[in-house]
């Protein structure tokens, strides 16, 4: 038996009554808390669930704690009833009764099981002797520990499975769209991703149901029981992965909608590239015939590989293989534009000598027109140099280097003829006479 001897001074009547009132209020609060814990949805779910992992171990310990709490509450009720019975003997208790009441209210006269008997505390002893205030503290601590487990499990069960179900519904919608455009596991990376996400959500929901505490981060410090936050890392990763797949499927759907227009544009671009190359080949023959001593680059043939891939794209569209058509069109569009630009560059490179000849002809005619305005076009030297340059530029094959030098000599002679005379006399047409 524990000692019920008074701990400290003997209480007077008012002190006894205040202690009884305080302990009675504690009794009501503890009883209400234990009943609420008994009816807690999380506790009922934990009792009926097939638990695994962390939750299984912690719930086993929590069940022992709850059982110990009810046993401790019974001892508390009995001790409080015994104290009340002594107090009710007389309206004005004597010194012996006050000493007895002090021992009941403050002494360690309540015997409870220690951890060696499943009580969860007591340093390994089979039984402990506590005062009523100490027993209240013991019950409050055990209750907080039990409520922490129950509330955390309930918080996870109330939130995570519902989120997973919503994401799984979205997964089903996206998977249906994926099948409609030929995105399937083993045939397209997005199909493999969908299979992985499906497996992950299935496993995640199963684990959230059987081991909810594995998805709970308890709050540190002196937080209230059940304080903490939901661990949604795996859920968030699955949601992000599904969003990436959804964007890819939307892109494939977009390909299906505008595939015909994109293929028509590709045909047009490749056709223009072929025509440009054909024009460059014709121009090259003309340059070789008309321009002498000029290095003319060779012209490549049509882009046969691109035409073959375009035919493959048409076949993908006909077979509704949109997931294969999408990357092929993206690649073809870029390469077709590059091919057209390359053809234009070859045409420019091939016709460059003709452009040089045209520039020289323009410079020669512009210089003669200027001389004609000043009445100097008939000057024998100028006329001779003009005829020499013109014969070179309008003959085939044309030697561009020699023709360029002849035009330069004509321009220099024209500049000298148009320059002011040393005696200050104006330039006139006297040399033509």
pLDDT tens digits for 308-317? 999 999 988 8
Instruction: Determine how many CB atoms are found less than 10 A away from the CB of residue 81.
Output: 10
Q: How confident is the model at residue 4 (pLDDT cuts 50, 70, 90)?
A: low
Statement: the pTM of the whole predicted model exceeds 0.85: no
C-alpha–C-alpha distance, residues 433 and 427, integer Å = 13
Please check the confidence at residue 52 and state whether its pLDDT lies above 60: yes
Phi first, then psi: what are they for 374, rounded to 5°? -95, 5
Please check the confidence at residue 351 and state whether its pLDDT lies above 70: yes
Q: How confident is the model at residue 211 (pLDDT cuts 50, 70, 90)?
A: very high
Instruction: Output the CA–CA distances (angstroms, integers) from residue 63 to 13, 46, 60, in the order listed.
Output: 41, 10, 5
Instruction: Determine how many CB atoms are found less than 10 A away from the CB of residue 401.
Output: 12
Q: Which of 318, 293, 302, 197 is nearest to 249 (CA)?
A: 197
Q: How confident is the model at residue 143 (pLDDT cuts 50, 70, 90)?
A: very high
Sheet strands (E) in 134-263: 216-218, 228-230
66-92 mean pLDDT: 86
Secondary structure (3-state) at 433: coil
| DSSP 8-state assignment for residue 9 | S
| DSSP 8-state assignment for residue 224 | P
Task: Please report the pLDDT score of residue 125 as a whole number.
Answer: 63
Average pLDDT over the chain, rounded to an integer: 84
CA atoms within 13 A on the CB side of 10: 12
Angle between helices 322-373 and 233-290 (to 10 degrees): 40
* Structure-model confidence comparison of residues 163 and 14, the more confident one: 163
Q: How confident is the model at residue 6 (pLDDT cuts 50, 70, 90)?
A: low
Percent of the chain whose pLDDT exceeds 90 = 36
Secondary structure (3-state) at 360: helix
Question: 220-229 contacts: CB < 8 A, separation 24 or more?
Answer: 225/143, 225/144, 225/145, 225/147, 225/148, 225/151, 226/147, 226/148, 226/150, 226/151, 226/152, 226/155, 227/148, 228/152, 228/155
Please check the confidence at residue 298 and state whether its pLDDT lies above 50: yes
Task: Please report the pLDDT score of residue 321 as a whole number.
Answer: 77
Is residue 365 within 8 A of residue 377, CB to CB? The reply is no
C-alpha–C-alpha distance, residues 299 and 346, integer Å = 7
C-alpha–C-alpha distance, residues 261 and 244, integer Å = 26
Task: Please report the pLDDT score of residue 423 as a whole number.
Answer: 46
196-219 mean pLDDT: 94
C-alpha–C-alpha distance, residues 253 and 257, integer Å = 6
Q: How confident is the model at residue 274 (pLDDT cuts 50, 70, 90)?
A: very high
C-alpha–C-alpha distance, residues 101 and 95, integer Å = 10
State CA 333 to chain mean position distance: 27
* Structure-model confidence comparison of residues 8 and 324, the more confident one: 324
């Amino acid at each position: 038996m524990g000692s019920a001897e008074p701990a400290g001074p003997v209480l007077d009547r008012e002190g006894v009554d205040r202690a009884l009132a305080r302990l009675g209020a504690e009794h009501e609060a503890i009883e209400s808390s234990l009943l609420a814990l008994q009816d807690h949805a999380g506790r009922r779910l934990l009792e009926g669930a097939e638990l695994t992992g962390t939750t299984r171990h912690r719930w086993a310990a929590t069940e022992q704690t709850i059982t110990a709490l009810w046993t401790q509450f019974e001892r508390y009720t009995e001790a409080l009833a015994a104290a009340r019975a002594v107090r009710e003997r007389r309206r004005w208790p004597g010194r012996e009764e006050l000493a007895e009441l002090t021992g009941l209210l403050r002494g360690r006269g309540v015997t409870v099981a220690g951890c060696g008997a499943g009580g969860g505390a007591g340093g390994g002893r089979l039984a402990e002797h506590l005062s009523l205030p100490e027993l209240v503290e013991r019950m409050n601590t055990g209750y907080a520990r039990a409520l922490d487990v129950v509330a955390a499990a309930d918080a996870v069960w109330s939130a995570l499975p519902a989120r997973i179900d919503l994401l799984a519904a979205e997964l089903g919608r996206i998977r249906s769209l994926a099948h409609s455009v030929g995105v399937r596991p083993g045939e397209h990376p997005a199909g493999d991703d969908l299979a992985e996400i499906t497996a992950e959500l299935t496993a995640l929901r199963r684990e959230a149901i059987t081991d909810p505490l594995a998805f709970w981060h308890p709050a540190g410090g002196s937080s209230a029981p059940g304080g903490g936050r939901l661990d949604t890392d795996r859920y968030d990763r699955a949601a992000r992965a599904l969003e990436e797949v959804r964007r890819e499927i939307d892109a494939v759907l977009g390909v299906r909608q505008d595939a015909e227009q994109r293929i028509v544009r590709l045909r047009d671009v490749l056709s223009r590239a072929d025509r440009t190359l054909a024009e460059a080949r014709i121009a090259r023959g003309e340059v070789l015939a008309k321009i002498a001593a000029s290095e003319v680059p060779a012209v490549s043939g049509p882009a046969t590989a691109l035409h073959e891939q375009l035919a493959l794209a048409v076949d993908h569209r006909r077979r509704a293989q949109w997931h294969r058509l999408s990357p092929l069109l993206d690649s073809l569009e870029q390469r077709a534009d590059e091919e057209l630009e390359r053809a234009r560059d070859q045409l420019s490179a091939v016709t460059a000598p003709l452009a040089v000849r045209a520039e020289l002809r323009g410079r020669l005619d512009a210089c003669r027109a200027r001389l004609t305005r000043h009445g100097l076009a008939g000057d024998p030297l100028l006329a001779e140099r003009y005829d020499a340059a013109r014969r070179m530029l309008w003959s085939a094959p044309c030697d561009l280097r020699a023709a360029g030098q002849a035009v330069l000599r004509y321009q220099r002679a024209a500049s000298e003829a148009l320059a002011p005379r040393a005696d200050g006399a104006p330039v006139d047409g006297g040399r033509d006479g």
